Amino acid sequence: MLINRTNFAVAKCAAKFAGRYAINGVYFSKTGTVATDGRRLACVTYPKQDGAEDFPTVPGAGEGAPTSPVDALEPFTIDASDLRVLGKDIRTSKPVLNLIALDVLETNANGHAAFAYTDLSNAQAPRIRKLEGEFPRYEAVIPTPDEKWARVTVNPAYLAEMLGIVAKHGGELRGVTIHVPPRVKNEHGRYDPQGPILLTAKVGDEQKFTGVLMPIALEE
């Protein structure tokens, strides 16, 4: 099966407790990767497996690694620190080379996860030890939004930059409040954006931050 660096990026949300507890790791479920530190949680589904047969041969990796079946994967956890460097230097113009193969059969049968990746100049087939212990039951804390929820879509890069203003330069920050306008159906039965979202924060004892982001209209 194939995964990518976005699956590894969830490692930023993993806990950093002393010891090799499961919560310090990234959980590979049957549908995607998950990480949490108890205060935040990130999940990313696996990419489409189109083109797996075109993945180049990596010395030391099983020949069937790229095409091994996703639905046969037995969930496991590996330490987040081991993922932060895995495949970080793979940056090519060919999409299939930006992917990492996981040999499902070898991973299921051993105490390690078998990865493989290459940029055609540097090929690696690392085996990373699995963590023991049960990963937290994260599904229970993910809410299921319904039609009563306010919902707005914004540019993620703009949002990150806006929050970065106070996160990196704001001194003592007590938190950022996100104000989301209500959703109202129009005469065609679709939800119209109800205006921008508002971000507010108190920085220290003297300064206040206000940010405004315009919504992006997407099809329901």
- Does residue 146 lie within any of the structural domains? no
Please check whether residues 51 and 133 belong to one and the same domain: yes
Domain end: 112, 141, 170, which one? 141
What are phi and psi for residue 29, nearest 5 degrees? -85, -175
Confidence (pLDDT) at 27: 97
- Does residue 59 lie within any of the structural domains? yes
Please check whether residues 27 and 115 belong to one and the same domain: yes
pLDDT per residue of the chain (220 residues) written in tens, 0 to 9: 999 888 998 999 999 987 768 899 999 999 999 999 988 999 999 998 887 888 888 888 887 888 898 999 999 999 998 887 675 655 554 556 678 999 999 999 999 999 998 877 788 899 999 999 999 999 988 988 877 777 788 888 889 888 888 877 656 666 888 888 776 677 776 666 567 889 898 877 777 888 898 888 665 4
Q: Alpha-carbon distance 160 to 170, whole Å?
A: 14
- Does residue 150 lie within any of the structural domains? no
Residues 6+ apart with CB under 8 A from 143: none
Q: Alpha-carbon distance 163 to 165, whole Å?
A: 5
| Domain at 79, CATH number | 3.10.150.10
Please check whether residues 110 and 165 belong to one and the same domain: no
Please check whether residues 67 and 119 belong to one and the same domain: yes
Please check whether residues 15 and 92 belong to one and the same domain: yes
How many folded domains does the chain comprise?
2
Confidence (pLDDT) at 93: 47
Q: What are 184's strand-pairing partners?
A: 192
Contact 148, 185 (CB under 8 A): no
Confidence (pLDDT) at 6: 87
Please check whether residues 160 and 114 belong to one and the same domain: no
Contact 199, 209 (CB under 8 A): yes
Domain end: 141, 170, 185, which one? 141
Q: Which residues of 165-202 are buried (b: 16+ CB within 10 A; e: fewer)?
A: ebeeebeeeeebeeeeeeeeeeeeeebebeebbebebb
- Does residue 184 lie within any of the structural domains? yes
Domain end: 107, 141, 175, which one? 141
Confidence (pLDDT) at 122: 80
Please check whether residues 119 and 166 belong to one and the same domain: no
Q: Alpha-carbon distance 84 to 131, whole Å?
A: 16
What are phi and psi for residue 13, nearest 5 degrees? -95, 0
Please check whether residues 124 and 171 belong to one and the same domain: no
- Does residue 17 lie within any of the structural domains? yes
Residue 127's domain comprises 2-141
The DSSP 8-state label assigned to residue 86 in this structure reads T
Please check whether residues 26 and 91 belong to one and the same domain: yes
- Does residue 49 lie within any of the structural domains? yes
Please check whether residues 23 and 128 belong to one and the same domain: yes
Contact 77, 131 (CB under 8 A): yes
Please check whether residues 162 and 131 belong to one and the same domain: no
Please check whether residues 77 and 184 belong to one and the same domain: no
